[in-house]
Amino acid sequence: MMRRIAWCVLGLLVIAGAAFYLLGQGFFGRHEGAGVVTNIERDPALRSERDTAGAVAALALGGGPRRILFGDLHVHTTFSSDAYVISLPLVSGEGAHPPADACDFARHCSALDFWSINDHAESLTPERWQETIDSIRQCNAVTDDRNPDTTAFLGWEWSQDGTTPENHWGHRNIVLRDLDEASIPARPIGARGSDGAVDLVTMAPAARAGLAMLMRDRRTLDFTRFLAESEAMPLCPEGVPVRELPRDCRESTTTPGELFSKLDDWGVESLVIPHGTTWGNTAPPAASWDSQIAGANADPARQTLVEMYSGHGNSEEYRSFRAENVLATGRERCPQPTPGPSGFLPNCWRAGEIIRARCLETGEGEGKDEDECDERARTARANHVAVGRMGFRTVLGASAEDWLDAGQCRDCFLPAFDYRPAMSAQYMLARSDFSEATPRQARLAFIASSDNHTARPGTGYKEYDRSEMTEGKGPRADAPDLLGNIAEPVPYSVALDAKPDIAFGTRDVERMSSFFTTGGLVAVHADGSGREAIWDALQRKEVYATSGDRIFLYFDLLNPENSEQATAPMGSEVIHGGTPRFRAAAMGARLQQPGCPETSANALGPERLHALCRDECHNPGEERKRIRRIEVVRVRPQTQPSQKIADRIDDPWLVLPCPALGDGCSVEFEDPDHAGTGATSIYYVRAIEEPSPAVNGQGLRCVRDGTGECIELRPCFGDDAKTPYQDDCLSLVEERAWSSPIWVDPPASAGQGVAAIR
């Protein structure tokens, strides 16, 4: 009898073990497909009305014959592993948002002229890649490609996070021009981290099985299948030409230079667009753009644009502060804070202050032991610096409120979280590479996009539904603590291994939620509405960025020398030895009406309209927001290595007010200082709208004392128990558009191969 029981128990254990193994391998999950694109075009009457309004605005502003089109070149679906995570019940996610959703949203919710899909290459198996290609083709097949309602581009994201400035390259979107088989790489090219890892989200099979057992829902079961499919894909062998590689392998590179080389090998028309460059969630504290200005890791043919604003924040502005200082020895040290409304409190310094305060509060620092608390603060700073962006984990039990506004840019417009100023767009313009006789700079035009992770291109048309229209998600109240956020506060710092147990262990999710916005747009001045016209505008750099509003913007040099053209538009590179004269003109976005056009509801049906658009669409009225002012920024790139970057940036150089009445604003200005300098001058403009409410418009919502120091804050949490999802955390902001720069080179540059207008 006992033997029989023992055999039964053993059999049950074997069955349970096998089930647990199969659970971790995704056996019980379902493959998630690309979905079905709605086969209904956007209402031609709406398109005609939009075109008429655009023509009227262009005429009023004195714009040229080219049309202004709005798009989003940075969109993720739940084919990206991080997007899949925020779709889970674990974080009160909505469920699947596959590529077909992105097409329907761009066409019927946000009414975009163009968009691209950019799922993380590291998550794209051969099956998912082919499904993505098919879905993008289906999206374009709905409309007439000679006059499309929306144009969908194929692409992916190359996502590399380094641990030091030397091995950090950042994230880039690759966008392909064409959709025929010969123009599409067999595999998207992903990134390998400094530790060789190629997955953004990693969980051991046992952890996947445990999560599925804890959550007990279908979506989490499907997630185990998703991760197992990604894990099963072998790495491609290195040193093999791309067309000779096996089709079913994972292709990856460690540097941008290797990425460019592989794209050269494929020989396809493509753009490579850096983005989120100042975002401390991915960039190490001392990161800088220095190693990417010139050389193998710069590609002036493909890498001509930078996404300097997205739903992850603004990367435009340079500041002199650093999150960590790099000493001559190569070691990093925690800098002291600088006070005031434009000051900076380093995270590492705040870590020391939190530990010191705890030490004193426990009584361990009374009297002669106060020195002990000071020593613990020094240790805390060192521990924080030692693990870079994971430093927040060295202070156990610290809340978002404990950190105050540490790590943040206090006087930037909607800044990226944990700001890295030496990765900003202004730094890229001002910093020169002196490795050769002639200094070189990165000449990147400006765009913005959404970086949306729920298959919703162009979410910035209305400020609503924070939990669906931004990435402001957090664990639900009863969710297991997978990120290790729950710990008892202790009066000492804890040294950490720099490698997290799971990839998301490096993410300060709780504080980061206050910095997610609805995202931006890229605008192009195009000769038509089709794929070729949009691509040509991107190649010409005749593009600009907006913080989400569909602002009309023109910026031209009025007196180019030695040119057949009467004017040179934004994005131009010109040679000019005299006084350059400029004109900028802008018109505010049309005010939105509630709800959706009836034709959107008819196309999608009420259930899908609610699930995808959340019952709100791009639905403009006749009135427009007013442009309050136009700001001019002048940048003079370094001519000597010793020159400080801050001294080379005049921001703002000019502030030109706009009339209180009327929709549009047109200004002219000149720069007599340029003549005779023998150096390059760079100019771009910002068109600033009147204040309007925006999701997470004040970030952490600091309460400041009379000196500008943050003494209290009200974060906008992703956790529904702390900040209800119905709270959109609205604050007034001045939405804006940024023109691409105009580079004005001195005549001496003619002998260095600089084209008069490019």
Domain 31-66+75-198+235-244+254-319+416-472+516-548: give its CATH code: 3.20.20.140
Q: What percent of the chain has pLDDT over 90?
A: 71
Question: In this predicted model, what pLDDT tens digit does every residue of 243-293 receive, in sequence order?
Answer: 999 989 999 999 999 999 999 999 999 999 999 999 999 999 999 999 999
Alpha carbons 612 and 194: distance in angstroms, whole number = 37
Sign (positive/negative) of CA torsion 95, 99, 102, 108?
negative
| Run of H or E including 574 | strand 573-575
Give the residue-averaged pLDDT of 619-632. 96
The answer to whether 70 and 531 are in contact (CB under 8 A) is: no
**The 3-state secondary structure of 428-465, one letter per residue:** HHHCCECCCCCCECCCCEEEECCCECCCCCCHHHCCCC
The answer to whether 318 and 647 are in contact (CB under 8 A) is: no
pLDDT higher than 80, residue 708: yes
Q: Nearest to residue 53, comparing CAs of 627, 591, 518?
A: 591
For residue 407, the Cα-to-chain-centroid distance in whole angstroms is 18
The answer to whether 424 and 278 are in contact (CB under 8 A) is: yes
Q: What is the DSSP letter of 424?
A: S
479 or 147, which is more confident? 147
What token pair was written down for 382?
A: 């060192």
The answer to whether 686 and 738 are in contact (CB under 8 A) is: yes
Alpha carbons 420 and 309: distance in angstroms, whole number = 14
3 or 473, which is more confident? 473
Question: In this predicted model, what pLDDT tens digit does every residue of 55-110 receive, in sequence order?
Answer: 888 888 888 889 999 999 999 999 999 999 999 888 888 999 999 999 999 999 99
Enumerate the H helices of 505-597 as residue ranges.
509-512, 531-540
pLDDT higher than 50, residue 641: yes
pLDDT for the residue 483: 56
Neighbours of 680 (CB within 10 A): 23
Instruction: Read off the amino acid at residue 391.
Output: G
pLDDT for the residue 751: 36
Instruction: Read off the amino acid at residue 191.
Output: A
Give the residue-averaged pLDDT of 434-457. 95
Lowest mean pLDDT among 16-20, 86-90, 336-340, 586-590: 16-20
Q: How many CA atoms lie within 13 A of 28 on its CB side?
A: 17
Alpha carbons 673 and 653: distance in angstroms, whole number = 12
| Phi-psi map region of 458: left, alpha, beta (phi>0 left; psi -120 to 50 alpha) | left
Alpha carbons 742 and 604: distance in angstroms, whole number = 43
3-state SS, residue 702: strand
pLDDT for the residue 754: 36
pLDDT higher than 50, residue 755: no
| pLDDT grade for 758, boundaries at 50, 70 and 90 | very low
Give the residue-averaged pLDDT of 353-357. 96
Q: What share of the chain is helix, strand, coil (3-state, %, to 5)?
A: 30, 20, 50
What pairs with residue 189 in β-bridges?
A: 251
Instruction: Read off the amino acid at residue 727.
Output: D
663 or 693, which is more confident? 693
| pLDDT grade for 753, boundaries at 50, 70 and 90 | very low
Question: In this predicted model, what pLDDT tens digit does every residue of 717-730 receive, in sequence order?
Answer: 988 888 988 899 99
The answer to whether 450 and 359 are in contact (CB under 8 A) is: no
The answer to whether 115 and 150 are in contact (CB under 8 A) is: yes
Neighbours of 438 (CB within 10 A): 11
Q: Are strands 151-160 and 170-176 parallel, antiparallel or unpaired?
A: antiparallel
- Domain residue spans in the chain? 31-66+75-198+235-244+254-319+416-472+516-548, 325-411+483-513
Question: In this predicted model, what pLDDT tens digit does every residue of 487-536 receive, in sequence order?
Answer: 889 999 999 875 554 445 567 888 999 999 999 999 999 999 999 999 99
Q: Nearest to residue 302, comparing CAs of 345, 251, 268, 335?
A: 268
pLDDT for the residue 757: 33
Give the residue-averaged pLDDT of 394-419. 96
What token pair was written down for 483?
A: 């990120």
The answer to whether 693 and 732 are in contact (CB under 8 A) is: yes
Mean pLDDT of the residues in the chain: 90
pLDDT higher than 90, residue 11: no
Sign (positive/negative) of CA torsion 530, 181, 451, 26?
positive
What token pair was written down for 363?
A: 């009584």
Enumerate the H helices of 252-408 as residue ranges.
256-266, 347-361, 370-386
Please give the radius of gyration of the chain, using alpha carbons only, rounded to the nearest integer: 26
pTM, entire model: 0.94
| Phi-psi map region of 356: left, alpha, beta (phi>0 left; psi -120 to 50 alpha) | alpha
What token pair was written down for 186?
A: 């067999």
Question: In this predicted model, what pLDDT tens digit does every residue of 200-221 receive, in sequence order?
Answer: 677 777 777 677 676 778 888 8
What token pair was written down for 191?
A: 């990134």
One-character DSSP codes across 608-675? HIIIIITT----EEEEEPPEEEEEEEEE---SSTTS-GGGGEEEEEEEEE--SSSSEEEEEEE-TTST
Using alpha carbons, list the distances in angstroms from residue 175 to 68, 138, 190, 618: 20, 18, 14, 25
What token pair was written down for 455?
A: 């298959």
